[in-house]
Copies of this chain bind each other. A is one copy, B any other.
Amino acid sequence: MTGIKQKLLSLVEPDLQKIEVALENNLTPHLELVRETAGHLMFAGGKRLRPLLIVLSARICGHENEFVTKFASIFEFLHTATLLHDDVIDGADMRRGKPVANAVYGAAVTVLTGDFLLARALNIAAESESMRIIKVVSGMTEEISQGEIHQLIKKGDITLSEEEYMDVIRRKTGVLIQGACKTGAILANASSGEEQALTKYGDHLGMVFQIADDILDYTADTGELGKAVGADLREGKLTLPVIHALREANPADRARMETIIVNTGFTNEEFDALRKLLNRYGGIDYARAVAADHVRAAKAQLEIFEPSRTREILAMMADYALQRRV
């Protein structure tokens, strides 16, 4: 465990405990199978990034009460719902070091449990009786599904531009992380300046998280990652390291990379060859630099708040998002 992760975990431990309780309490399905299927993934060591962001965003605006933790569940439920549907769609085998729900419970139960969690999230949002929160949550849900479909359409398209990639990851991942920060601010009745700063912080943080994920798919090993390395490319998903390397490569190397990418059934040797080319053309470094810009931009948004432990934690989360190994 890296130093920053250890430090962060010790700082947010009390919040994480409350979040776990809230997730359990707010799940309340009428059927044991739903709890089991949802729990299979939801209680398999997720980072609780999104619920934490609500709690911390509300706190930095001076707001602290039990309802915040309750509404924090919304974002973990939505996140889990999208992962469950992703697992049906992607055909991946492993997630968080476990077989995917799809492999254990079948596609039918997995799709329906995703639907249940989505519906549950919207019910909890409705309980807030805040029209703004309801609109943030339902709006996010629509954005995410469109981002996922956009990604699907672009699968295997080696002409995917950096701009399109950014658009897809913003909708697929960014929207939910940003929404968590914004909702925290709304719950806190924050000033519009504070709300805007947290929303922008969330936007940058979301980009860091997804770009870092995409880098890890090339740099981690399977044991660390809890899922197969190179999975993105095997599913035909072009991410920033590859997009940059393809752009920079000479025609011969570009052709070599394209051959490997188009053949999603590539061998380990071919994947290693591709990784070497990514490095030669600075694909990983470029992606890290873009993510580092977002880390700086995220932290800059926090400057409008007085220095505090909470501000420190939010800043550390931005650093951790890029440095993490899983």
Contact indicator B107/A123 (Cβ below 8 Å): no
**Within the assembled complex, what's the spacing in Å between the Cα atoms of A153 and B109?**
9
Nearest-neighbor residue (CB-CB) of A88 within chain B: B111
- Looking at A114, A116, A125, A126, which has the most chain B CB atoms within 10 Å of its CB? A126
Q: Are B112 and A34 in contact (CB under 8 A)?
A: no
Contact A153 B89 (CB under 8 A): no
Shortest Cβ gap from A115 to chain B (Å): 4
Pairwise interchain contact A85-B115, C-beta atoms closer than 8 A:
yes
Contact B115 A89 (CB under 8 A): no
Q: Which residues from chain B contact A113 at a C-beta distance below 8 Å?
A: 145, 149
Please tell me if the beta carbons of B111 and A123 are within 8 angstroms of each other in the complex.
Answer: no
A146 touches B34 (CB 8 A): yes
The main secondary structure of chain A at its interface with chain B is helix
Q: Across the interface, which residues of B come within 8 angstroms of A122, CB to CB?
A: 122, 138, 141
Identify which of B115, B144, B152 contacts A108 (C-beta below 8 A).
B152
The listed residue (B89, B116, B146) touching A146 by CB distance below 8 A is: B116
A108 touching B89 by the CB < 8 A rule? yes
Is A30 at the interface (CB under 8 A from chain B)?
A: yes
Q: How far is the CA of A323 from the CA of B243 in the complex (A)?
A: 59
A96 CB contacts on chain B under 8 angstroms: none
Would you call B107 and A119 a contact (CB within 8 A)? no
> If the complex has contacts A118-B118, A142-B120, are A112 and B31 also in contact, measured as CB distance less than 8 A?
no
Contact B107 A152 (CB under 8 A): no
* Chain B residues within 8 Å of A123, by CB: 135, 138-139, 141-142
Residue of B nearest to A136 (CB): B126
| CB of A129 closer than 8 Å to a CB of B | yes
- The answer for the CA separation of A251 and B221 in the assembled complex, in Å, is 61
- For the complex with contacts A112-B148, A112-B152, A115-B145, 12 further pairs of A-B residues with Cβ separation under 8 Å are A29-B146, A31-B150, A88-B88, A88-B111, A89-B112, A111-B111, A116-B142, A118-B119, A119-B142, A119-B145, A123-B141, A126-B139
13 contacts between A and B (CB under 8 A): A31-B153, A34-B146, A34-B149, A88-B88, A107-B107, A109-B149, A112-B148, A116-B146, A116-B149, A118-B119, A119-B141, A119-B142, A126-B131
